[in-house]
Amino acid sequence: MSEIEERDLKHLDEMTLLLYLERQLDRGRGQEVSAHTEECEACRTLLRALERESRLLTRAMLEDSEPLPSRLAQFQEAARRSMQWIWGLAFGLAATGVYALYTGYIQPWQTQLEQAGFSGTNLLGLLIFQSPFWKGWQPVITLLEILALATLGGLAAMFVRRRIRRGSALALLFASLCAAMMLPGQASATEMRKGDRVSVAKDEVIHSDMYVAGGQIRIAGTIEGDLVVAGGDVEVSGHVLGDLLSASGQVRMTGQVDGSIRGYAGNITVKGKVGRNVMTFGGDVNIDRDSTIGGSITSFSGRLSMDGHVQRDVLAMGGQTNISGIIAGSAKIRCDELNIDSSAQIGGPVEFSGHKPPSVAEGAKLASPVHFEQLKHGPDYSSPHYYIWQLIWASAYILFGLVLFALMPAFSLQAVHSLEEQVGASFGLAVLVGFGLPIAAFITCVTVVGLFVGLSTLALWYGALHFGLVVVGALIGQWLMGRTNELWPLVGRMCVGVVIVRLFTIIPYLWFLKYIAAFWGLGAISLVIFRRFQPAVAAGSSSTPTAQPLPPNTTVGGPLPA
């Protein structure tokens, strides 16, 4: 190119060349610049100088890699130690709170219960150890073995977690657990029968557990194991050496059960001898004059007529309770109406909670007068205990939320966001999980998978319900104090929100709000869990950028002309 021609060219400005170098010009303009720099020596030189300047800048900034100052090198460890200290303090405070709760409230209540004559056990103890749920120590040992195995598995997973993915470790653990639970507990045959009419003849002996399903069931023979019946009309006149479990429309037990009776029925009549305890859930429960119960009776029914002989205690809840038989232990009854007949004998104290005083006939032999407590509708706002408990509950929720938010920050944040952004889906899942899961867990309890899985599921559901309320609290806090995506500000908002929810529950007729809040939160939690199980959103599975950016720190322009 001659000097005259070059002088005639209009040079490109530095801004245009820089934008060309950094690939910021559109395609057409870039082609113009490219064509121009091919012909113009001065612009080509400037372009080259700008590119070298870019390289020099990058090199200068990347070089001289100062070592990380010791303060920064130790920062992570120091922060961790500090967090451990805070956790220690938090759990210490929590333990102190639990101790204060126990000594201040639970222990006195337990003492009162013992004084009420529950044989030195509390209500829970009565339900667990004297009810048909209690099957002796052997199942507990098995459960302990499973828990020990699970713990060992967990420790092993922790040990190898650096070598395998966390998800894999959890999968391994749960697979082992499931495998352990599916192993047959004991090698025993099981007799199963079903049909419209099923019967076991008087001289027939079943040398194992027996499962029977049918419209009309008659058991007159001997069952050496447990008897599990599901039918419309059931009569057991034979001898069951194990437990009798029944889910039927009508059950009559006129024979002998050496173990316990666990019955779910519309109408239950016990006329024979029961070696251990009776737990009944039914509309109408009759313990006949000829019956003898070796242990305790626990009844949740519309009407309980107790005319037989009970060698230990009676716990009854329901509509009406009539006692005309003998109770060697104590009686704790909570129902609308209690009638004690003149033929009744009760060896221990009688505690009755109801809406009207009990009717006690003159000839009744009671160890002590009936202790009557009038039931009131709704909370007692005049009692300071009510407000203390409200405070304790609010603190407990905050502590619970604090721990869960700190342990699962991402999950908690997603739950709060789901709550806010997908109200309909949250409520839908709340109905499904809130009501469906307990039913599924209950069914699981009576199937082959077992009580452990069912009860664990129920415990998880219950915990999630409380966590749901905490999540709703965090959302309310966000409405008031503004949205945040950081952990500790979110915890602060959660505290405010939880206090507000608890305050609302104090207001008469608005107590149900906390249940709505808990279920709504449960729905949001379920939604997050559901999403996490979607293969497409496996967190961290890929970090491939959606668009390939410029190569780092090096390339800063279009092709230089030769």
Partner 1 sequence: MSAPGITEPTEAIARARAGDADAWGELYREYAPAIFRFCRRALPTREDAEDATMEIFMKLKGKLTQYDTTRSFSAWLYKVAANHCWDILRRRKIRQDKETEDVESVPLEHPEPSQLEKLIEQRSSEEVRKALEKMGARARMALVMRYYSDMSYDEIADALGVRRAFVGVVLLRARHELRQALEGNAALAAGGAL
- Tell me how many residues contact partner 1 (CB under 8 A): 69
At position 432, the amino acid (one-letter code) is L
Residue 247's DSSP bridge partners are: 230, 264
Q: How far is the CB of 98 from partner 1 (least distance, A)?
A: 24
Q: Which of 2, 8, 28, 69 binds partner 1 (CB under 8 A)?
A: 69
Window of 130-138, 215-223, 487-495, 503-511 that interacts with partner 1 by CB under 8 A: 487-495
Taking CB under 8 A as the criterion, the residue among 144, 179, 423, 550 binding partner 1 is 550
**SS3 at position 47:** helix
Question: Which position has the token pair 């203390």?
Answer: 388
- Which residue, 172 or 367, is less far from partner 1 as judged by CB? 172
Select the residue interacting with partner 1 from 2, 76, 186, 382 (CB under 8 A).
76
Nearest approach, Cβ of residue 546 and partner 1 (Å): 6
| Site track for partner 1 across 156-195, x = CB under 8 A | ---------xx-----------------------------
Interhelix angle 513-532/423-445, rounded to 10 degrees, is 90
| Among the listed residues 262, 232, 267, 274, the one whose alpha carbon sits nearest the alpha carbon of residue 252 | 267
Task: Pick between residue 368 and residue 553 the one whose CB is nearest to partner 1.
Answer: 553
Q: Which of 26, 27, 28, 60 is the binder for partner 1 (CB under 8 A)?
A: 60
- Distance in angstroms (rounded) separating the CA atoms of residues 228 and 467: 37
**Would you count residue 138 as binding partner 1 (CB under 8 A)?**
no
508 binds partner 1 per the rule CB under 8 A? no
Encoded one letter per residue, x for contact with partner 1 by CB under 8 A and - for no contact, window 10-29 reads -xxxxx--xx--x-x-----
Report residue 382: phi and psi, to 5°: -85, -15
**150-171 per-residue burial string, b: 16 or more CB within 10 A, e: under 16:** beebeeebeeeeeeeeeeebee
Kindly give the interhelix angle for 423-445 and 409-421, rounded to the nearest 10 degrees: 120
User: What is the nearest approach in angstroms of partner 1 to the Cβ of residue 40?
Assistant: 10
Taking the complex as a whole, the smallest distance from the CB of residue 70 to partner 1 amounts, in Å, to 10
Q: Does 62 bind partner 1 (CB under 8 A)?
A: yes
DSSP symbol at 325: S
Could you tell me which residues are beta bridge partners of residue 292?
A: 273, 309
Confirm if 208 and 192 have CB atoms less than 8 A apart: no
Q: Cβ 501 to partner 1, closest distance in Å?
A: 24
The neighbour count for residue 371, using CB atoms within 10 Å, is 15
**First vs last Cα of the chain: how many Å apart?**
15
How many Cβ atoms from other residues are within 10 Å of residue 126's Cβ? 22
Q: Are residues 123 and 113 in contact, defined by beta-carbon separation less than 8 angstroms?
A: yes
| Residue 72 engages partner 1 in binding (rule: CB under 8 A) | yes
Q: Decide if residue 541 touches partner 1 (CB under 8 A).
A: yes
- Binding window for partner 1 (CB under 8 A); candidates: 134-142, 197-205, 294-302, 485-493: 485-493
**The token pair that represents 205 in the structure block:** 């002996």
Nearer to partner 1, 14 or 336 (CB): 14
Pair of tokens at residue 336: 């609308």
469 closest CA partner among 532, 533, 407, 512? 512
Among residues 186, 382, 534, 544, which is the contact residue for partner 1, using CB under 8 A? 544
- Which positions lie near partner 1, rule CB under 8 A? 11-15, 18-19, 22, 24, 42-43, 45-46, 48-50, 52-54, 56-69, 71-73, 75-77, 79-80, 83, 165-166, 406-411, 413-414, 485-489, 539-546, 549-550, 552-553
